[in-house]
């Protein structure tokens, strides 16, 4: 089939041609927006799951929905490296100013004017971006230099101004597990106070499966602040829809056995469905995709996944860190006990620590529970097994 018409969308954060299986999450957010319009408060939402399950896509959908209802929104992506904390705060301040600029296009009341001043002050203190909103700096609001104090004042002023007409202040944060402790603590405190006071301020976060634990370790009450939504594999019916609907819209379709082959290979993972969907479209000679087409697509798609999705991650690891990744494959995709991994690579647990920390910083592994590590991408153990010989040498 013509590749220039290929509807499938493998790739980080790319909107799929058919967004399936996420009705519950989308409805939860619709309800939050509707409650805000009714001047009722709610909890923030936290989406968690492995890489490739569709968290970023979902976060973007929610963000777009909030924008349609004229929320003041900022979208951030946390980073774990040393410069990350400053970068995130700068991005927050900068994007706030940009979002506030849009608001100034409509006529603003006294409260909103005060909120804009607070945003300006926050930007000058925390962001230091030098971008101006063209309003005076608020006197003594969001200008202490303490991120927690300033964020609270910002949230109060901005959300109360928006509350007047049933809108909210929404912070959409991707890779939230990588937020620095100070910013994370400040955001949780702000969400907590907003909930108590009924201010329409919501943190909508997405991150790895350990994000709920990271949040509660930062502030124990974080457990009750968010609607936690684990995102995972799609059930077979939904996975089939993700493949079939886009093809049918373009006059193509799957033979039943062809579809089964692809579904089996993808194991319900959205990223893999898009990758195999793309492959079968490009490889199929006619508009009904057969079992033969599917077999070829699985082979081709897997090679492509190995080269792009898996190998790019693998190559971020140093030779010593790769030994740790190899040792984890014995547990397949289930979490490994850190003590087992240490034993397998012949290190004391304490000596394993730095490798573990680096692999976490690189986003290759995460810690589902204390004393455990797991791969962040589904299918990593099988990748390691497919390439064990050449990975061992590399
Ligand atoms: N609900 C869905 N249905 C079908 N495909 C999806 C769905 N969600 C995401 N995808 C596809 O999966 C891939 C990964 O999505 P992404 O949001 O980047 O995942 P994550 O942020 O969890 O790593 C993309 O190619 C995207 O098009
Ligand atoms: Mg993502």
DSSP 364-388: SEE-SSTTEEEESSTTHHHHHHHTH
**Architecture label for domain 316-393:** Orthogonal Bundle (1.10)
Calpha distance 387→254 (Å, rounded):
31
pLDDT score recorded for residue 132: 63
Task: Tell whether ligand 1 has an atom less than 6 A from the beta carbon of residue 13.
Answer: yes
Task: Tell whether ligand 1 has an atom less than 6 A from the beta carbon of residue 19.
Answer: yes
Find all residues with CB under 8 Å of 75, minimum gap 6, and list them: 59, 60, 63, 95, 172, 173, 174
Task: Tell whether ligand 1 has an atom less than 6 A from the beta carbon of residue 274.
Answer: yes
Q: For a substitution probing ligand 1, which of 15, 21, 52, 78 has the most ligand atoms within 8 Å of its CB?
A: 52
pLDDT score recorded for residue 124: 83
Task: Tell whether ligand 1 has an atom less than 6 A from the beta carbon of residue 242.
Answer: yes
Strand spans (E) along the chain: 44-48, 72-77, 169-174, 201-207, 226-230, 253-254, 288-289, 336-337, 365-366, 372-375
Question: Rounded to the nearest whole angstrom, what is the distance from the C-alpha of residue 243 to the centroid of ligand 2?
Answer: 21
pLDDT score recorded for residue 332: 93
Question: Rounded to the nearest whole angstrom, what is the distance from the C-alpha of residue 246 to the centroid of ligand 1?
Answer: 15
| Cα→Cα distances 245→8, 10, 18, 250, Å | 11, 16, 7, 9
Three-class secondary structure of residue 309 per DSSP:
helix
pLDDT score recorded for residue 388: 82
Question: Which residue CA neighbors atom 9 of ligand 1 most closely?
Answer: 54
| Conformational region of residue 178, where left means phi above 0, alpha means psi within -120 to 50, and beta covers everything else | alpha
- 23-230 fold: Rossmann fold (3.40.50)
Closest atom of ligand 1 relative to the 15 alpha carbon: 27
Closest atom of ligand 1 relative to the 274 alpha carbon: 25
Question: Rounded to the nearest whole angstrom, what is the distance from the C-alpha of residue 233 to the centroid of ligand 1?
Answer: 11
The answer to whether 218 and 185 are in contact (CB under 8 A) is yes
Task: Tell whether ligand 1 has an atom less than 6 A from the beta carbon of residue 22.
Answer: yes
Find all residues with CB under 8 Å of 163, minimum gap 6, and list them: 39, 199, 200
Calpha distance 340→324 (Å, rounded):
11
Residue-wise pLDDT tens digits, 239-283: 999 999 999 999 999 999 999 999 999 999 999 999 999 999 999
Task: Tell whether ligand 1 has an atom less than 6 A from the beta carbon of residue 271.
Answer: yes
Q: Domain residue spans in the chain? A: 23-230, 235-313, 316-393
Give the closest ligand to the alpha carbon of residue 278.
Answer: 1
| Residues of the chain under the 70 pLDDT cut | 128-139, 391-394
The answer to whether 192 and 201 are in contact (CB under 8 A) is no
Calpha distance 19→359 (Å, rounded):
31
Calpha distance 45→20 (Å, rounded):
19
Task: Name the β-bridge partners of 56.
Answer: none
CATH number of 235-313: 1.10.8
pLDDT score recorded for residue 204: 98
Question: Rounded to the nearest whole angstrom, what is the distance from the C-alpha of residue 49 to the centroid of ligand 2?
Answer: 9
Q: Do domains 23-230 and 316-393 have the same CATH topology?
A: no
**What residues have their beta carbon closer than 5 A to ion ligand 2?**
55-56
The two most distant CA atoms of the chain are separated, in Å, by 71
Calpha distance 72→79 (Å, rounded):
23
Question: Which residue CA neighbors atom 8 of ligand 1 most closely?
Answer: 54
Task: Tell whether ligand 1 has an atom less than 6 A from the beta carbon of residue 280.
Answer: no
Question: Rounded to the nearest whole angstrom, what is the distance from the C-alpha of residue 284 to the centroid of ligand 1?
Answer: 23
């Amino acid at each position: 089939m013509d590749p220039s018409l290929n509807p499938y969308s493998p790739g980080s954060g790319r909107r799929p041609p058919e967004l399936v299986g996420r009705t519950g999450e989308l409805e939860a957010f619709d309800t939050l927006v509707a409650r805000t319009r009714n001047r009722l408060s709610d909890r923030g939402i936290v989406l968690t799951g492995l890489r490739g399950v569709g968290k970023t896509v979902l976060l973007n959908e929610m963000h777009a929905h909030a924008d349609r209802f004229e929320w003041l929104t900022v979208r951030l992506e946390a980073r774990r490296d040393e410069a990350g904390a400053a970068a995130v705060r700068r991005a927050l301040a900068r994007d706030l100013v940009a979002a506030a600029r849009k608001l100034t296009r409509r006529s603003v009341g006294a409260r909103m004017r005060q909120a804009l001043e607070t945003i300006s002050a926050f930007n000058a203190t925390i962001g230091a971006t030098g971008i101006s909103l063209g309003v005076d700096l608020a006197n003594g609001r969001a200008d202490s230099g303490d991120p927690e104090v300033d964020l609270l004042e910002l949230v109060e002023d901005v959300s109360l101004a928006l509350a007047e007409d049933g809108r909210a202040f929404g912070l959409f944060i991707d890779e939230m597990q990588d937020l620095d402790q100070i910013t994370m603590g400040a955001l949780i405190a702000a969400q907590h106070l907003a909930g108590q006071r009924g201010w329409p301020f919501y943190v909508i976060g997405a991150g790895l499966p350990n994000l709920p634990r990271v949040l509660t370790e930062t502030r124990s009450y974080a457990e009750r602040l968010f609607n936690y939504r684990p995102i995972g594999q799609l059930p077979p019916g939904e996975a089939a829809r993700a493949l079939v609907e886009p093809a049918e819209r373009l006059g193509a379709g799957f033979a039943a056995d062809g579809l089964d082959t692809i579904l089996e290979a993808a194991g319900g993972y959205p990223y893999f469905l898009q990758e195999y969907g793309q492959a079968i479209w490009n490889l199929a000679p006619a508009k009904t995709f057969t079992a033969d087409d599917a077999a070829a697509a699985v082979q081709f798609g897997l090679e492509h996944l190995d080269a792009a999705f898996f190998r790019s991650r693998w190559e971020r690891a140093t030779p010593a860190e790769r030994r740790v990744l190899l040792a984890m494959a014995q547990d397949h995709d289930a979490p490994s006990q850190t003590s087992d991994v240490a034993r397998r690579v012949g290190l004391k647990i304490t000596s394993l620590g730095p490798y573990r920390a680096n692999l976490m910083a690189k986003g290759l592994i995460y810690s589902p529970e204390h004393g455990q590590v797991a791969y962040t991408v589904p299918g990593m153990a099988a990748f390691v097994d497919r390439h064990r010989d050449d990975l061992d040498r590399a």
